[in-house]
Amino acid sequence: MGTANDSSKDISDRLAEKHPKVVFVLGGPGSGKGTQCEKIVQHFGYTHLSAGDLLRAEKNSGSENGIMIQNMMNEGKIVPSEVTIKLLQKAMLDSGNDKFLIDGFPRNEENRAAFEALTKIEPEFVLYFNCPEKEMERRILNRNQGREDDNIETIRKRFKVFLESSLPVIEYYKGKGKVREIDAAKPVEEVFKEVKDIFNPKVPKVPKDENVEGRCMCCAIL
């Protein structure tokens, strides 16, 4: 009878056979990464996976794993990286796609190291939506009109956690030349223009004279 480790190895092997293209999407609360992920999905055919959404869905499913997640959250504990990674792997396999935006993960260095160790996958790059704290605050407060006093401290705490936990991940991938940083303070369409430049393959233009068939070299010179 197979063990849990055998099962994890099997799902990792099956996923590795697909040679998936993975892009980590990171940015603070209110940076607009969710909006941009929707546009990337529409224009470039990626599957968008949110680690937070997958955990919430599993928690609400009533499964044994979901009950464990619920209990950990109730106790204020952090769900182990392995649990989140298994949910991501299953969603990747179930999608039938081979191109993925993984949104809001890895949240910290431990997440990052565990993902690479368990999946044997390194991201193609990290798409980092860099947005000033004041602008992110303004966006979230506008989104949650009428509840400014209730949310301002929570927003600032979330931003502090992002700086402390996620910036080391960004710095790690910067050292590997894998960070594509976007100025996320701009309007949505201007931000997406920058995003498109990153995702569109750069195809060199062929001069017209070099792209004509049936011409001899002397004619080409002339």
Question: Does pLDDT of 150 surpass 50?
Answer: no
The parent domain of residue 39 ranges over 4-221
- Asked whether residue 147 is marked as a ligand-binding residue, the answer is yes
Q: Is 2 assigned a ligand-binding role in the annotation?
A: no
The pTM score is 0.81
The enclosing domain of 180 has a CATH number of 3.40.50.300
29 annotated as ligand-binding:
no
20 is in an annotated binding site: no
Sequence letter at residue 16: A
| Ligand-binding site membership of 71 (annotated) | no
Asked if residue 79 belongs to a known ligand binding site, the reply is yes
Q: How much is the pLDDT for 203?
A: 56
Is 105 known to sit in a ligand binding site?
yes
Q: Binning pLDDT at 50, 70 and 90, where does residue 221 land?
A: very low
Query: How many domains is the chain partitioned into structurally?
Result: 1
Please tell me the distance from the alpha carbon of residue 219 to that of residue 19, in angstroms, as a whole number: 46
pLDDT digits (tens, 9 = 90+) for 166-205: 999 999 999 999 999 999 999 999 999 999 999 986 655 5
Q: Is 74 annotated as a binding residue?
A: no
pLDDT greater than 90 at residue 88: yes
